[in-house]
A and B are shown apart, each in its own frame.
Chain A
Amino acid sequence: MAHELRLTGERLTGELVAKVEELSGENLYACFQCGKCSAGCLFADHMDLLPSQVLRLVQLGDEDVLSAQAPWVCASCLACAVRCPKGVDIAKVMEAIRLISLRKGEPHLSPRALAKEERLPQIALVGAFRKMTP
């Protein structure tokens, strides 16, 4: 995803950074963009932004990150979280971004999308709907 960065002091002290920090409980500025999370992410090749890029956009207060698909492709497997050399739990940052849109009432999974499934176990349904619907 080509992206134009516009840096302003207002963004850095803006609502997005504060909200993600509060929801995730993580220090976003501990990340120094080494990219280890992206290198080890099993889902990176299905994402429009790499996990480290998601984190960077949040650091910069760029609200475009809220419309990225990457957080919805993240399966919360925590591979990034155990590998981050700075101890940033990126999975919690992904969760915070998902929650910002879920708490506006925007679902990211519809039962209609599963109409063709013959049989999905409850564990999959409960997990997916808890993660992707308000």
Chain B
Amino acid sequence: MKRIPYFPGCGLKDQARGFELAALAAMERLGYELAELPRWNCCGTVYSLASDDLMRHLAPIRNLIRVQELGESRLVTLCSMCFGTLKRSAQFVEEDSERLATINAFMDEEDDYQGGVEVLHLLAVLRDEVGYEAIEEAVERPLEGLKVAPYYGCMLLRPRGLGVDDPDHPRVMEELLSALGAEVVDHPYKVECCGSYLTAGRADVVEARVAAIAGAAVQRGADLIATSCPLCQFNLDTRLSQAAGRRGTPSIPSVYFTQLLALALGADPHLGEQAIDPRPVLAARGFLSEVRG
């Protein structure tokens, strides 16, 4: 069993339990232990875009120090927002030693961060380390006949060079879904933002966004949308369900990509948290009777 330090973040311990539990179960079947980082703290959720806001980088850097304390050099995340803040803060101090020195000087209890911790998203680990061939071989229940629309959102892909894939034409989720046997449904909104944190205060804006995304997926015949972020998932699921009933609002369930991975590998997908329940469509396609824990 290979071991990779893993950063869960707040969502995966609360409303996105299924995202984490499905990932842990699926990765175990692929021979990987996602080892939860000791004493992790909030990543800060949103990366500061200001040139001078060093305080905002403390939380992510402190997590990277925890990785360093383990004698490890990489950290894997599941949540796209955590991925964005951790990865970008790591880069922010990597490119300017003065910034890093100031941040290190501010923290009394920790050892200095030396740099060099690589932040990875699980989708990249599945692609680059596990490999799609090994995943295909491990599939017990191919998702044949299941039409899945991938949804990337923003922080998984942007900014250019730091995301897991090309920001305009990503393939990583499509390739994973294909390896699982699912039919990939392409749609024009897969890299377009769901409204993110505007969901607190501007639910109207988010509802318009998710209606457009879901509408594109429904129009192309998708059964499900696959996500990689608890905030995208909340918006595409809870906010979409709240907008339901208004004229023209589409309805389609969203699940985390780890839940589809678990399902295909014969592990428990930990479904049941969604406001728009994915289980009826999965049962109708014949996928739920064969799940075991």
Which one, B44, B52, B203, contacts A126 given CB within 8 A?
B44
Does A68 reach chain B (CB closer than 8 Å)? no
Residue contact B81 to A82, C-beta cutoff 8 Å = no
For A, the interface residue count at a CB cutoff of 8 angstroms equals 40
Given contacts A25-B51, A42-B193, contact A78 B15 (CB under 8 A): no
Of the candidate stretches A10-18, A29-37, A117-125, the one touching chain B is A117-125
Of the candidate stretches B27-35, B152-160, B278-286, the one touching chain A is B152-160
Residue contact A127 to B167, C-beta cutoff 8 Å = no
Does A39 reach chain B (CB closer than 8 Å)? no
Residue contact A22 to B197, C-beta cutoff 8 Å = no
Which one, A92, A117, A120, contacts B49 given CB within 8 A?
A92
Q: Convert B35-65 into 0s and 1s, putting 1 for each residue whose CB lies closer than 8 angstroms to a CB of A.
A: 0000000101111111111001000000000
Name the distance in Å between B234's Cβ and chain A's nearest Cβ.
5
Residue contact A124 to B49, C-beta cutoff 8 Å = no
Name the distance in Å between A134's Cβ and chain B's nearest Cβ.
12
Given contacts A79-B192, A81-B159, A127-B197, contact A121 B167 (CB under 8 A): no
Name the distance in Å between A60's Cβ and chain B's nearest Cβ.
22
Name the distance in Å between A106's Cβ and chain B's nearest Cβ.
15
Q: In residues 130-187 of chain B, which contact A (Cβ within 8 Å)? A: 153-154, 158-160, 167-168
Within 8 Å CB of B231, what residues of A?
A: 121, 123-124, 127
Does B115 reach chain A (CB closer than 8 Å)? no
Given contacts A109-B201, A127-B45, A128-B197, contact A77 B11 (CB under 8 A): no
Given contacts A77-B193, A79-B192, contact A120 B199 (CB under 8 A): yes
Complex CA gap A81/B163 in Å reads 13
Complex CA gap A91/B193 in Å reads 13
Does A6 reach chain B (CB closer than 8 Å)? no
Does A46 reach chain B (CB closer than 8 Å)? yes
Residue contact A127 to B196, C-beta cutoff 8 Å = yes
Residue contact B197 to A75, C-beta cutoff 8 Å = yes
Within 8 Å CB of A77, what residues of B?
A: 153-154, 158, 192-193, 196
Residue contact B49 to A121, C-beta cutoff 8 Å = no
Residue contact B205 to A46, C-beta cutoff 8 Å = yes
Complex CA gap A82/B170 in Å reads 14
Complex CA gap A46/B201 in Å reads 14
Within 8 Å CB of B197, what residues of A?
A: 75, 123-124, 127-128, 131
Name the distance in Å between A33's Cβ and chain B's nearest Cβ.
22
Residue contact A123 to B45, C-beta cutoff 8 Å = yes
Within 8 Å CB of A127, what residues of B?
A: 45-46, 81, 196-197, 200, 231
Residue contact B158 to A122, C-beta cutoff 8 Å = no
Q: Convert B231-242 into 0s and 1s, putting 1 for each residue whose CB lies closer than 8 angstroms to a CB of A.
A: 100100000000
Of chain A, the residue at the smallest CB distance from B196 is A75
Does B230 reach chain A (CB closer than 8 Å)? yes
Does B190 reach chain A (CB closer than 8 Å)? no
Of chain B, the residue at the smallest CB distance from A75 is B196
Within 8 Å CB of B201, what residues of A?
A: 109, 113-114, 128, 132
Residue contact B167 to A22, C-beta cutoff 8 Å = no
Complex CA gap A86/B143 in Å reads 43
Complex CA gap A71/B164 in Å reads 27
Complex CA gap A43/B197 in Å reads 13
Ranked 8 nearest A-B pairs via Cβ: A127-B197, A77-B193, A128-B200, A95-B49, A78-B158, A25-B51, A77-B154, A128-B197
Question: Could you show 15 A-B contacts with beta carbons less than 8 Å apart?
Answer: A42-B209, A76-B196, A79-B191, A79-B193, A82-B159, A89-B159, A113-B201, A117-B203, A121-B14, A123-B10, A126-B44, A127-B231, A128-B200, A130-B56, A131-B197
Binding site for B on A (CB under 8 A): 22-25, 42-43, 46, 73, 75-79, 81-82, 89, 91-92, 94-96, 99, 109, 113-114, 117, 119-132
Contacts A22-B52, A43-B198, A126-B45 supplied; 20 other A-B pairs, CB < 8 Å: A43-B205, A76-B46, A76-B154, A79-B158, A81-B158, A82-B160, A95-B49, A114-B200, A114-B201, A121-B15, A121-B231, A123-B9, A123-B11, A123-B45, A123-B230, A124-B199, A127-B46, A127-B200, A127-B231, A128-B197
